[in-house]
Structure 1
């Protein structure tokens, strides 16, 4: 197998895409694991921006910073707030106000290397939560920190014109 497009060598499950897809499948069966879904998506797309949409990277970077600053419970509350605003009965749309205090996505990316990648997540009997949900959450926190640090190492961002 060749190196992943984020610069990481493949792990036992393959490239980061293989890890990401396996995590998404496991989340469907494990509501406790699903708590970190937004973190997983933001980290994956920020480490592999060609697999997402460029127009969303800034908000994903801000979501990631929000999570690192405020924690998983605040992130889940913000998700619920956004879903309520975006449901069919509401015309309010997406609320960027909670994310505005966070740094915009730096230009010149993506970073060539991340200190931690999906390919380094341990996997075994019990899947990604082989040693508990809290430990899984800690690993995702480390992955989120590595992603934020790599992007911020590129320099300051350009404020979005949202």
Structure 2
């Protein structure tokens, strides 16, 4: 398990950035997504990466599927992840008996047991926030930064020994 963070340090190991800890960046992103449909496209990888980097803020029973979704995103990209998400929404509208179809994620490794890695080479505290925006240099640049955070999250979780 990760050590307890010191003041000014996030539980993912990151040092607070200009907006504060990762939770402050996360809430800022979620608020900004509400006004920016292009930014919202990265909502699923943002949520999965944040919760996997901060599992104490997550529901443990969902972390495995979030890890698999993040692996799909890193492996096949945003459009593939959005297709899987749309499939899940369609299933829910038809009141499927099981709440989540794991078949699209079956090829991906389960969440390693043994606790959170506690350190990630890229975190939310490192996201630039300029001119009151996470996307001041464009949506593609923002998307690439989210992809880097996702890659770092998957990489660190894969390093956890079972």
Q: How is 1:42-121 mapped onto 2 (pairs within 5 angstroms)?
A: 42-87=48-93, 89-92=94-97, 93-121=99-127
**Which runs of no fewer than 5 residues in structure 2 stay unpaired?**
1-6
**Which runs of no fewer than 5 residues in structure 1 stay unpaired?**
157-162
Distance 1:126 1:132, change over 3 A: farther
Structure 1 runs of 4+ with >4 Å offset: none
Q: Is the 8 A contact 1:7 1:112 kept in 2?
A: yes
Output the TM-score relative to the length of structure 2: 0.92
Count of paired positions: 155
Measure the CA separation in 1 of the matches of 2:86 and 2:96. Answer: 16
Measure the CA separation in 1 of the matches of 2:145 and 2:151. Answer: 10
Measure the CA separation in 2 of the matches of 1:133 and 1:2. Answer: 29
Measure the CA separation in 2 of the matches of 1:110 and 1:83. Answer: 29
Output the TM-score relative to the length of structure 1: 0.92
Measure the CA separation in 1 of the matches of 2:158 and 2:54. Answer: 16
**Could you say what the CA RMSD is over the residues aligned between the two structures, in angstroms?**
1.1
